[in-house]
């Protein structure tokens, strides 16, 4: 063989070898501008301005907790429909130095006088509307208590510093995005019924439009008071009095005593594994982490790499596994301070293996008997993830429940109050029925993933009960299909409750939809990128490099440095 021919052969072999090494499955991103790379710090949040605030805090020398608290307060101003100091949430932290996990439950609590039958009329029918709009829907907010506790225990900066960006935005105004304008319109009647809310979110009784400035000077004043006076500034004194007055003026039950006695709970997160990766996530009063792990445990019984991403077979398996996980949620889950939950069983591989055996290869099973009687499922809420240069990881999911919560703003304070009571079972006798002081069941699943003690990812999403399925799908996208975080977030999603239709995004090919229908699934197709399936954010750590991803289904944007 001549020299030239030899060279050509070697070059050809090299090209083939290189092609095999670098070729990935053909995933792509439609929104690469939402992703980011960095090596010193990364913040992925539902608003670019919030991510920037987090990065600025990190650059100023703050750690991931400082950044998370600053981002959290800011999101209540930048994305007021989805979270804020009138709401609650969950934060999961991994401290790099010690490897310890801290799980902070700052979920809202029912008023002490709340009862299991408080939403039943004389005929015994449930007045669902009262549980999601107005004073009676409001639970005692936990966000301020939660943030100030983690700041004190694990942060390095003072209240004034971390609150300053949020105060500035509230004072100077936030430009209304297309997403926010649409949500204001959708919740117009909820906002319109409350004078204080109308003053902020409407202009001359009409919805604020894209490009308008949303100003909330009262909220700026409130946050200055919190910066100065700490927890007591919110939970006691003048603000607490005003909150109680506003709630009671609209038929709600919360008293000043309820507010003063609010407690943040420090809990053990739930832990599991998926194909060699450790999964750490939210424990009750969130059902989320437990059922994300259960769902992954079930799916671990199937070779998803073989069935392939996006195939009818894969979606069918996910759908059936979701039915099983959601049915368990409805039957077994509640606030563990009030009810006994079989956590170990739900998290066990053996239990999941037994559940997996119920799944038929080509046939959709009928809805499982155990169901969640809640009819209102809020796709609202927000999630953000932070990683700092030390490797501290934070995942936060927080909410005021439905977009714009109860619709009640406390006059003179700018505080928009939650409608978290809607997350209870509204009839007596259930594991998630109402009791005074109880936390309503959540599905929020701020999640951390590690590979053999090494941090791998922090992620989460809003989306009501669908959070569970979405987080599990994201984890599978990363681990089973080796997607990068932005691809994983953008990839099409499905949801299947314990019974009812299999909903999916429009990008799933019609051929696959038809195959699923032939298996007995009742397929409902939504938009190509549908808010219904959440707004995920996440950060992956890959050989010291930070990859941030954010969801185009909301206004998400990751920023790194």
Kindly list the residues in this chain that would bind other proteins in the complex (CB under 8 A).
128-129, 132-133, 182, 185-190, 192, 205-207, 209, 375-376, 527
Are 395 and 458 a contacting pair, CB within 8 Å? yes
The DSSP-derived string for 252-319 is ----HHHHHT---EEEPPEEEEETTEEEEEPPTTBSHHHHHHHHHHHHTTS-HHHH-TT-HHHHHHHH
Residues acting as catalytic residues: 381
450-478 burial: b if 16+ Cβ within 10 Å, else e: beeeebbbbbbbbbbbbbbbbbbbbbbbb
Are 346 and 291 a contacting pair, CB within 8 Å? yes
Gap between the Cα atoms of 431 and 341, Å rounded: 9
DSSP state, residue 435: -
Gap between the Cα atoms of 416 and 81, Å rounded: 9
SS3 560: strand
Gap between the Cα atoms of 455 and 94, Å rounded: 9
- State the nearest-atom distance from the C-beta of 177 to other proteins, in Å: 12
- State the nearest-atom distance from the C-beta of 192 to other proteins, in Å: 6
- State the nearest-atom distance from the C-beta of 97 to other proteins, in Å: 46
Q: Nearest CA to 423 among 54, 131, 79?
A: 131
- State the nearest-atom distance from the C-beta of 194 to other proteins, in Å: 13
Closer Cβ to other proteins, 187 or 521, answer by number: 187
- State the nearest-atom distance from the C-beta of 312 to other proteins, in Å: 22
- State the nearest-atom distance from the C-beta of 527 to other proteins, in Å: 8
Closer Cβ to other proteins, 128 or 389, answer by number: 128
Closer Cβ to other proteins, 188 or 370, answer by number: 188
Distance from the Cα of residue 217 to its chain's centroid: 28
Closer Cβ to other proteins, 133 or 233, answer by number: 133
Gap between the Cα atoms of 241 and 236, Å rounded: 7
Alpha helices in 173-202 (DSSP H): 178-186, 188-192, 195-201
User: Is the Cα torsion angle 22, 26, 31, 34 positive or negative in sign?
Assistant: negative
Q: Nearest CA to 74 among 211, 223, 184?
A: 223
Tokens of 371: 């169901």
Are 505 and 528 a contacting pair, CB within 8 Å? yes
Closer Cβ to other proteins, 186 or 257, answer by number: 186
User: Is the Cα torsion angle 145, 146, 148, 154 positive or negative in sign?
Assistant: positive
Closer Cβ to other proteins, 129 or 360, answer by number: 129
Closer Cβ to other proteins, 293 or 504, answer by number: 504
- State the nearest-atom distance from the C-beta of 287 to other proteins, in Å: 22
Gap between the Cα atoms of 55 and 218, Å rounded: 26
Q: Nearest CA to 417 among 172, 207, 239?
A: 239
Closer Cβ to other proteins, 195 or 205, answer by number: 205
Closer Cβ to other proteins, 185 or 353, answer by number: 185
Q: Nearest CA to 282 among 155, 445, 392?
A: 445
- State the nearest-atom distance from the C-beta of 182 to other proteins, in Å: 5
- State the nearest-atom distance from the C-beta of 355 to other proteins, in Å: 30
- State the nearest-atom distance from the C-beta of 501 to other proteins, in Å: 12
Q: Nearest CA to 396 among 177, 136, 167, 71?
A: 71
Q: Nearest CA to 524 among 497, 506, 512?
A: 506
Closer Cβ to other proteins, 12 or 211, answer by number: 211
């Amino acid at each position: 063989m001549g020299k030239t021919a030899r060279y050509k052969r070697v070059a050809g072999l090299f090209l083939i070898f290189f092609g095999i090494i670098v070729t990935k499955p053909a995933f792509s991103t439609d929104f690469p501008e939402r992703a980011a790379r960095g090596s010193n710090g990364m913040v992925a949040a539902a608003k670019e301005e919030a991510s920037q605030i987090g990065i600025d805090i990190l650059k100023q020398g703050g750690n991931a907790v400082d950044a998370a608290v600053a981002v959290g307060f800011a999101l209540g101003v930048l994305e007021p429909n989805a979270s804020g100091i009138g709401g609650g949430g969950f934060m999961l932290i991994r401290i790099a130095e010690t490897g310890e996990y801290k799980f902070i439950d700052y979920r809202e609590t029912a008023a002490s006088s709340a009862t299991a039958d408080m939403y039943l009329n004389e005929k015994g029918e449930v007045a669902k509307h009262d549980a999601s709009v107005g004073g009676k829907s409001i639970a005692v907010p936990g966000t301020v208590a939660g943030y100030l506790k983690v700041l004190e225990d694990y942060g390095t900066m003072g209240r004034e510093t971390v609150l300053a960006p949020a105060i500035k935005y509230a004072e100077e105004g936030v430009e209304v995005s297309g997403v926010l304008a649409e949500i204001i319109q959708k919740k117009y009647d909820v906002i319109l019924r409350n004078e204080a809310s109308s003053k902020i979110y409407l202009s001359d009784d009409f919805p604020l439009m894209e490009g308008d400035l949303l100003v909330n000077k009262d909220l700026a004043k409130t946050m200055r008071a919190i910066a100065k006076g700490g927890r007591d500034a919110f939970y006691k004194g003048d603000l607490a009095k005003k909150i109680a007055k506003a709630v009671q003026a609209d038929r709600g039950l919360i008293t000043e005593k309820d507010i003063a006695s609010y407690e943040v709970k420090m809990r053990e997160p739930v832990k599991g594994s998926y194909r060699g990766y450790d999964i750490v996530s939210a424990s009750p009063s969130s059902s989320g982490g437990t059922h994300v792990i259960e769902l992954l445990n079930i799916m671990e019984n199937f070779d998803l790499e073989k069935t392939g991403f996006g195939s009818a077979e894969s979606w069918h398996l996910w759908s059936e596994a979701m039915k099983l996980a959601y049915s368990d949620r409805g039957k077994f889950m509640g606030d563990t301070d009030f009810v006994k939950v079989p956590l170990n069983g739900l998290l066990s591989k053996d239990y999941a293996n037994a559940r997996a055996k119920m799944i038929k290869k080509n046939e959709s099973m009928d809805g499982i008997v155990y169901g969640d009687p809640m009819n209102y499922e809020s796709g609202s809420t927000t999630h953000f993830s932070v990683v700092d240069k030390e490797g501290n990881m934070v995942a936060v999911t927080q909410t005021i429940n439905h977009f714009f919560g109860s619709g009640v703003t406390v006059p003179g304070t700018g505080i928009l109050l939650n409608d978290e009571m809607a997350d209870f079972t509204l009839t007596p006798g259930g594991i998630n029925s109402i009791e005074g002081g109880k936390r309503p069941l959540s599905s929020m699943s701020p999640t951390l993933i590690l590979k053999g003690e090494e941090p791998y990812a922090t992620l989460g999403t809003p989306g009501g009960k669908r959070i569970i399925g979405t987080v599990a799908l994201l984890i599978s996208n990363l681990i089973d299909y080796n997607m990068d975080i932005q691809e994983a977030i953008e990839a099409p999603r499905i949801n299947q409750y314990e019974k009812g239709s299999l909903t999916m995004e429009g990008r799933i090919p019609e051929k696959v939809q038809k195959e699923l229908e032939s298996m007995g699934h009742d397929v409902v197709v939504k938009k190509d990128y549908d808010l219904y399936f959440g707004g995920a954010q996440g950060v992956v750590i890959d050989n010291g490099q930070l990859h941030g991803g954010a969801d185009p289904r909301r206004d998400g944007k990751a920023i790194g440095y």
